[in-house]
Amino acid sequence: MKIISYSCDVCGREITTNLIDDVKGINVRIELDHGKYESVVFQHACSICQTSIAKTLREWVEQHKK
């Protein structure tokens, strides 16, 4: 059985594809004190959510640099 559609883990939008490599995810790693970290993983994300989340995180980092 060939999977040709996924749902975005962020917004629920349908992602249609013929190749599994076309479906990308989002893995956000948040570093905490003393080498500890938390990860937030969305295995399937549409291109709109990938772009939006990446842009938002870059803006947040710029605003919070010391």
Domain span at residue 49?
A: 5-63
pLDDT of residue 13: 93
DSSP string, 6-57: EE-TTT--EEE-S-GGG-EEEEEEEE-GGG-EEEEEEEEE-HHHHHHHHHHH
The whole-model pTM stands at 0.68
* pLDDT per residue as tens digits for the range 49-63: 999 999 998 898 898
| Number of structural domains found in the chain | 1
